[in-house]
Amino acid sequence: MILLIKLIVSLVCIVLAWRLKPLWEHSAAATPSFRRYCLAGFILTRVGTFVMVFFVLRMGAQSDINWYYNDAKAVEGGLLPLRDFMPIYGPWFSVACALLIKIFDSPVWLVFIAIVFEFISLPLWLKVGDRLFNPRISNLGLLLYVCSPLSLLNVPITGQNHIWFAPFIAGGMLLLIRHQSFLCGATVGASILAVKLLSLIFIPPFTWASKNRWACAAGFFCVVIPGYGWYFLQGADITKLMSFHSQHGSSGNLPFLLGMAGLDFSLPHLRSAANYIGLGLLSGLFLTAMWKKRVVTPYQALIFLPLLMIIVLIISKKSFASYLECALFPLCLIGATFPSNGERVALTAIGGLAACEPSIWYRLLSNQELAAFWDKDAAIPLPSWAYFSVAFVDVILLGSYVYLAIRLWRLTAKDRFCA
């Protein structure tokens, strides 16, 4: 049912993105009323989807939302994250969820909270867009975002906490533009405790593009060190979270796809090698950007948010396609500057593919590795066509990532937007 809903919604969004072509040349796109209509469309589609899924179709909470709820219950029972139980995300996240379920004790309530976080981030991103681009690009970026199947499917249906990043990252970017370097670093640092470690990849562009790099770094460490330090003093093992994520995998990335060549990256030595190679490639990319002065302005830093996220999606063994949501609004802002309507439609299609791919993996392979194709004693014997179908989807997805990465890298050659 979920996969069918995702496929239908993705197709509708792609057709809608194509039909909206005339708006790109319309003078009304720069007006406040256009922005209000887009925001109204966001509320109607997100809340409408939420009501349809959980109150009309009466479906239960999906995906990771049950983990969030169970961790919240553990905190509610007096347990301490990282010491008494293993949270799958930042320790503050479990505490925040525990406070939230005191209002309504239901996993579905946490899905609605994800919509609230997404809505809170929109005015912040729009202010960023107004400063780095112009109101017209901001409004069109918002329109692209409202029409994105990734946002529409990832937030009001599964409620995954990737969107909890958005207010922190958008706020950090706005503070970066306003040259409030210390607060910028502190805001991004808080996202590591409040959401997940994944936001570590955003620290380099924020720091390097800051007017005062030392102040930005100081703000980051002034939040992260005391935050995790308190848990350490309570007897918690603060390395557990990193170890947990480094030992797990997902579909939709290069190590997973290489399983069809017989390389099983679920094996500890290959998984570790993939993690180290990925870290090296990510570091090499950013060092190259520093050397070529491609990340010295807030505009370039904004481009690096989706660029780094896409590189992680390609090379990391544990990088679900839905992680693209973490940098989706910046990507939509940049997509609004694309001259070709075909590129904007392609961006919508990539979002739909990223939303559907994890469900395709689950439906066809029951979350098995592609490398299981070569294992005659696989726990769940599956037909060959299922493996090749998932591999085909991932080839298209990874090809889309590579295209976007190259497109974004080229944009960093300029230090500001030129209409």
The per-residue pLDDT for 14 is 92
Residue with tokens 């302005």: 297
160 with 359: CB under 8 angstroms? no
The per-residue pLDDT for 115 is 95
285 with 315: CB under 8 angstroms? no
Q: Return the DSSP state at 250.
A: -
Which band of pLDDT confidence, cut at 50, 70 and 90, is reported for residue 28? confident
355 with 395: CB under 8 angstroms? no
Q: Which two tokens stand for residue 398?
A: 């990874």
Residue 225 has pLDDT above 80, yes or no: yes
Angle between helices 91-100 and 213-233 (to 10 degrees): 70
Distance CA 154, CA 7 (A): 13
Mean pLDDT for 256-279 is 84
Residue 378 has pLDDT above 70, yes or no: no
The per-residue pLDDT for 341 is 87
The per-residue pLDDT for 317 is 84
Q: Return the DSSP state at 156.
A: T
How many domains does the structure of the chain reveal?
A: 1
Q: Is 414 left (phi over 0), alpha (psi -120 to 50) or beta?
A: beta
Mean pLDDT for 351-363 is 92
Closest CA to 149 of 161, 158, 137: 158
329 with 166: CB under 8 angstroms? yes
The per-residue pLDDT for 368 is 87
Mean pLDDT for 78-89 is 86
In a domain, 417, yes or no: no
Residue 196 has pLDDT above 90, yes or no: no
The per-residue pLDDT for 251 is 86
327 with 166: CB under 8 angstroms? no
Q: Give me the residues paired with residue 85 across strands.
A: 81
> What's the distance, Cα to Cα, between the start and end of the chain in Å?
44
The per-residue pLDDT for 223 is 96
Q: ∠ CA(392), CA(308), CA(328), 5° rounding?
A: 75
Angle between helices 32-51 and 135-146 (to 10 degrees): 20
Torsion of CA 173, 163, 395, 301, to 10 degrees: 0
160 with 326: CB under 8 angstroms? no
* One-letter amino acid for residue 128 of the chain: V
**Please, which residues have CB within 8 angstroms of residue 319's CB and are 6 or more apart in sequence?**
250, 252, 253, 312, 313
The per-residue pLDDT for 36 is 94
Q: Give me the residues paired with residue 81 across strands.
A: 85
In a domain, 416, yes or no: no
Report residue 88: phi and psi, to 5°. -90, -5
Note down the domain range covering 337: 2-411
In a domain, 418, yes or no: no
pTM of the model: 0.94
Distance CA 348, CA 342 (A): 10
The per-residue pLDDT for 90 is 86
Angle between helices 384-411 and 298-315 (to 10 degrees): 160
Mean pLDDT for 304-324 is 91
The per-residue pLDDT for 239 is 80
In a domain, 177, yes or no: yes
**Please, which residues have CB within 8 angstroms of residue 171's CB and are 6 or more apart in sequence?**
124, 187
